[in-house]
Structure 1
Amino acid sequence: MAPQKKSKKTKRKPKDASKSNASSEPKPSESKASEVDWWYAFWRKNSDSGAAIPSDEDEAFKYFFRVSKKTFDYICSLVREDLVSRPPSGLINIEGRLLSVEKQVAIAMRRLASGESQVSVGAAFGVGQSTVSQVTWRFIESMEERARHHLNWPDSDRMEQIKTNLETTFRLPNCCGAIDATHIIMTLPAVESSDDWCDQESNYSMFLQVIVDHELRFLDIVTGWPGSMTISRLIKCSGFYKLCESGERLNGSVKLSSEGAEIREFIIGDTAYPLLSWLMTPFEGKGLSVSMTNFNEKHKAVRFLAGRALSQLKGSWRILHKVMWRPDKHKLPSIILVCCLLHNIIIDNGDELRADVILSDHHDAGYKEQSCQQMDSAGQTMRENLSKHLQSLEVHHFG
């Protein structure tokens, strides 16, 4: 278990991120020709590096960088001011020219998307390992600041849209999303290795916990905590838990079930989470009633959204799926956050999440399912009300 002093890492948590920075307008400092040149040079050099690379130019672009050219241009507009105003030393390519903002963004996004080594990514762009390292970290720092507005808890109007969609699809009134967690596996130098970071499967890992909506958008994330923690303890260490317990989150209007019982706002989680008034877990045990089984089916369908979002995240940004080689544990939460921001930007811009990159197995393959036995009475009452509501709808539908 991580000692309490580890909480200093939570300063990088994006919970309740309220910073919304207006995106920087593109500056005419880079010629259009150079913007195009880097892509065609890269495409020519790497077009035969894998059998799955599409022959269509636009599809090939999305293959390498996970986003359309339009979304890529938007990302460049976010970070342009930072990458132009503070050029580091050494960012000169082999032709003696300063790297364009577009090429810097491409290098960083390719590093995140492929998870390949800095040497391999550098070779694909004709730059050195140190350049890839500098460029990637500068991009992450800028995105962490400039793109934070893409990860905020929804306002009341947006939350009503989410609840309406989830109720229409899954018949669960006042459901605000689903929660899940995954391990980001890493190696650590021997001098840094400790039981704090060694998880139940004997891997060194860092947790990422997410709450997602019906479109797989991340509404809240928590990261920076050691994978040795239990998921039930992870959520209790989060700001989201504290806000819910104090009535400052999931505090929207109460709805009435088909039988007149009160149903407050809530999210869906698996058996690793405690059953709370605002966090619904499935019924467990044998001999479940019809209403309990029906509730579990709907519950599982909503919970699948969070699992799919994490499989999409790790599949798109492979740096999170591959074993992270000796990461700076203080910087790793920023890398995780920026990958989550990129995931949301794709959705927010109307771009498509690439279905062909999603992980084929579970996002936390190799980890046993955890079980938390904690239940509070208000949570039990809420779950009973929901199961009876669903059963009533079934009877009415088939009656």
Structure 2
Amino acid sequence: MEEQARHHLNWPDSDRMEQIKTNLETTFRLPNCCGAIDATHIIMTLPAVESSDDWCDQESNYSMFLQVIVDHELRFLDIVTGWPGSMTISRLIKCSGFYKLCETGERLNGSVKLSPEGAEIREFIIGDTAYPLLSWLMTPYEGKGLSVSMTNFNEKHKAVRFLAGRALSQLKGSWRILHKVMWRPDKHKLPSIILVCCLLHNIIIDNGDELRADVILSDHHDAGYKEQSCQQMDSAGQTMRENLSKHLQSLEVHHFG
């Protein structure tokens, strides 16, 4: 499966990315949005000789991380796995090849859009508060007393972010080996098992098949885990989020005006 089906999980070419961005903008009114990112723990039981703090996460489970980026059809565009669940999610993304490609301008580097107000909006993905706010990774506004434009941004943000959570619930619901507790897996082989399940997930979508409604997990894909919070915000990310918020607000004014 790894060798024969790998073409089912690739970062989109420019034409395909334009389709994704157009769909997400049409549905959620966010221009240049390329998808949503989320992470989940694959819980396992380890033999006593292999047990270590490295694999023991904040909920006292032994687990391995899976991080995914999904499009509007819940297809995985990029995955990262093999890292221990004891890491923070903000650390996980910084260890990924995707992060390095974005930081060097080799990914999410498509054309910049100009809002009607003249503000620049570059390509970006959506992530929750566990991720840092970067020029290419938009996280929600936090705190009380948010303005109308901030609240409006958060609502659209949450709707896109839900796509990634839904994809992970679908993955774990379809391939139950990834759900509950995996009994003494080979930690070197487990990333391959996770990858193959992700390939199968994409093959179902690529073939136009639909899962029965009761397949997807009824609870959260990471049930029992508390939300993480990353306080890192870079200035370019803050500017970009403000530009998006103002753009959404102008759309609202135009719509009701």
Please indicate the TM-score interval, normalised by the length of the shorter structure.
over 0.9
Q: In structure 1, the residue corresponding to 2:37 is in which secondary structure?
A: strand
Structure 2: tracts of 5 or more residues without a match: none
CA shift, 1:353, in A, is: 2.9
Q: Deviations over 1:245-290 (max 9, x none)?
A: 0000000000011211000000000000000000000000110000
Q: In structure 2, the residue corresponding to 1:267 is in which secondary structure?
A: strand
Identify the residue that residue 283 of structure 1 maps to in structure 2.
Answer: 141
Larger Rg: 1
CA shift, 1:354, in A, is: 2.9
CA shift, 1:332, in A, is: 0.2
Q: Deviations over 1:326-382 (max 9, x none)?
A: 000000000000000000000001111332111111000000000000000000000
Contact 1:186 1:204 in 2 (8 A): yes
Alignment of 1:167-182 (within 5 A): 167-182=25-40
Correspondence for 1:320 among 168, 178, 181: 178
* Aligned counterparts of 1:340 and 1:309: Cα–Cα separation in 2: 10
Larger strand proportion of the pair: 2
Q: In structure 2, the residue corresponding to 1:185 is in which secondary structure?
A: strand
* Aligned counterparts of 1:322 and 1:178: Cα–Cα separation in 2: 24
Larger helix proportion of the pair: 1
* Aligned counterparts of 1:329 and 1:355: Cα–Cα separation in 2: 32
* Aligned counterparts of 1:393 and 1:353: Cα–Cα separation in 2: 36
CA RMSD of aligned residues (A): 0.5
* Aligned counterparts of 1:283 and 1:175: Cα–Cα separation in 2: 17
* Aligned counterparts of 1:349 and 1:156: Cα–Cα separation in 2: 22
Q: Deviations over 1:78-133 (max 9, x none)?
A: xxxxxxxxxxxxxxxxxxxxxxxxxxxxxxxxxxxxxxxxxxxxxxxxxxxxxxxx
CA shift, 1:311, in A, is: 0.2
Q: In structure 1, the residue corresponding to 2:3 is in which secondary structure?
A: helix
Q: In structure 2, the residue corresponding to 1:361 is in which secondary structure?
A: coil
* Aligned counterparts of 1:214 and 1:153: Cα–Cα separation in 2: 14
Q: Deviations over 1:110-169 (max 9, x none)?
A: xxxxxxxxxxxxxxxxxxxxxxxxxxxxxxxxx011100000000000000000000000
* Aligned counterparts of 2:55 and 2:213: Cα–Cα separation in 1: 32
* Aligned counterparts of 2:83 and 2:11: Cα–Cα separation in 1: 21
Contact 1:347 1:353 in 2 (8 A): no
CA shift, 1:389, in A, is: 0.1
Q: In structure 2, the residue corresponding to 1:207 is in which secondary structure?
A: strand
Q: Deviations over 1:32-79 (max 9, x none)?
A: xxxxxxxxxxxxxxxxxxxxxxxxxxxxxxxxxxxxxxxxxxxxxxxx
Contact 1:211 1:218 in 2 (8 A): yes
Q: In structure 2, the residue corresponding to 1:209 is in which secondary structure?
A: strand
* Aligned counterparts of 2:206 and 2:144: Cα–Cα separation in 1: 43
TM-score normalised per structure 2: 0.99
**After TM superposition, where is structure 1 displaced by more than 3 Å over at least 4 residues in a row?**
none
Contact 1:316 1:354 in 2 (8 A): no
Query: Matched residues, percent identical?
Result: 98
Q: In structure 1, the residue corresponding to 2:144 is in which secondary structure?
A: coil
* Aligned counterparts of 1:355 and 1:312: Cα–Cα separation in 2: 10
* Aligned counterparts of 1:216 and 1:366: Cα–Cα separation in 2: 23
Correspondence for 2:150 among 292, 298, 304: 292
* Aligned counterparts of 2:49 and 2:211: Cα–Cα separation in 1: 39
Correspondence for 2:194 among 323, 328, 336: 336
Q: In structure 2, the residue corresponding to 1:228 is in which secondary structure?
A: coil
Contact 1:182 1:208 in 2 (8 A): yes
Q: In structure 2, the residue corresponding to 1:370 is in which secondary structure?
A: coil
* Aligned counterparts of 2:116 and 2:57: Cα–Cα separation in 1: 44
TM-score normalised per structure 1: 0.64
* Aligned counterparts of 1:258 and 1:233: Cα–Cα separation in 2: 36
CA shift, 1:383, in A, is: 0.0
Correspondence for 1:201 among 35, 55, 59: 59
CA shift, 1:194, in A, is: 0.1
Identify the residue that residue 4 of structure 1 maps to in structure 2.
Answer: none
Relative contact order, higher structure (CA 8 A, sep 6+):
2
Q: Does 1:252 find its partner at 2:120?
A: no
Count of aligned residue pairs for this structure pair: 257
Q: In structure 2, the residue corresponding to 1:181 is in which secondary structure?
A: strand
Q: Deviations over 1:279-331 (max 9, x none)?
A: 00000011000000000000000000000000000000000002000000000
